[in-house]
Amino acid sequence: MINTKKALRREVLQRLKAAAAADPAQLRSAALREKLAPWLQNGTLCVGIYAPLPHEVNLLPLLPEYPQHRFVFPLCLPGHKLRFHEVRDVAADMQPGAMNIPEPAPHTPAVRPEDIDLLIVPGVAFTRSGERMGYGGGFYDRFIPRCSKAKILALAFNEQMVESIPTEPHDLRIPTLITGGTQI
């Protein structure tokens, strides 16, 4: 199963990187953020997002678009664990982290998992039934159960959608998936 997951991950990442190269203006990310808008309309929320890799959905424009919300970003910890920290200004509050992915700087305040209202989960591949394949570290599979009140969702480009993903007992499903096609 591990080789099958690695092969699927490699295949989807190749498709994503090719699509990202063809979309330098990131119009596909903008379209997905627009589909996310109804989830961000009511009240003041604590929203867990991530700093995108070049081929991932770019959520960073949400910060100035929704200043009423608190945006929190993951910090990778030993043992494949995550801790989220509040970021108000990406340029001032983020620094290169694990695998050179931007993460919150030490001065940013930590946020308890139970305080997150909406958690947007990254991934490499997804199925229509909500199966998710990440990058292989299990970080989010360990973190999501700690978010007792959060609505969990993911945004995915069409290139990330696959018929099936080899899953293991610890792999969590994503209840809401917003895609380039339709919301699932």
Query: For residue range 48-61, what is the model confidence (pLDDT) as tens digits?
Result: 999 999 999 999 99
Distance CA 29, CA 140 (A): 21
Q: Please report which confidence band the pLDDT of residue 2 belongs to, taking 50, 70 and 90 as the band edges.
A: low
Position 170 scores a pLDDT of 81
Position 169 scores a pLDDT of 82
Is residue 60 domain-resident? yes
Position 178 scores a pLDDT of 96
Q: Please report which confidence band the pLDDT of residue 67 belongs to, taking 50, 70 and 90 as the band edges.
A: very high
Answer whether residue 171 shows pLDDT above 90: no
Position 117 scores a pLDDT of 98
Nearest Cα residue to 121 out of 57, 168, 182: 57
Within 8 A by CB and 6+ apart from 102, the residues are: 51, 73, 90, 94, 95, 96
As a whole number, the mean pLDDT across the chain is 92
Distance CA 129, CA 161 (A): 10
Is residue 129 domain-resident? yes
**Residue 20's domain is classified under what CATH number?**
3.40.50.10420
Answer whether residue 174 shows pLDDT above 60: yes
Is residue 184 domain-resident? no
Are the CB atoms for 154 and 56 separated by under 8 Å? Answer: no
For residue 107, the tally of other CB atoms under 10 A from its CB is 9
Is residue 130 domain-resident? yes
Position 181 scores a pLDDT of 57
pLDDT tens readout for residues 98-110 = 778 899 999 999 9
Position 112 scores a pLDDT of 98
Question: Which of residues 149 and 1 earns the better pLDDT score?
Answer: 149
Is residue 50 domain-resident? yes
Among 9-13, 54-58, 135-139, the least confident range = 135-139
Distance CA 104, CA 180 (A): 29
What residues make up the domain containing 123?
2-179
**What are the C-alpha distances in Å from 52 to residues 26, 37, 60, 129, 165?**
12, 18, 8, 24, 22
Number of domains in the chain: 1
Distance CA 133, CA 143 (A): 15
For residues 8-21, give the mean pLDDT: 94
Distance CA 37, CA 42 (A): 10
Position 163 scores a pLDDT of 95
Position 1 scores a pLDDT of 55
Position 139 scores a pLDDT of 93
Answer whether residue 184 shows pLDDT above 50: no
For residues 178-182, give the mean pLDDT: 75
The one-letter code for the residue type at 128 is: R
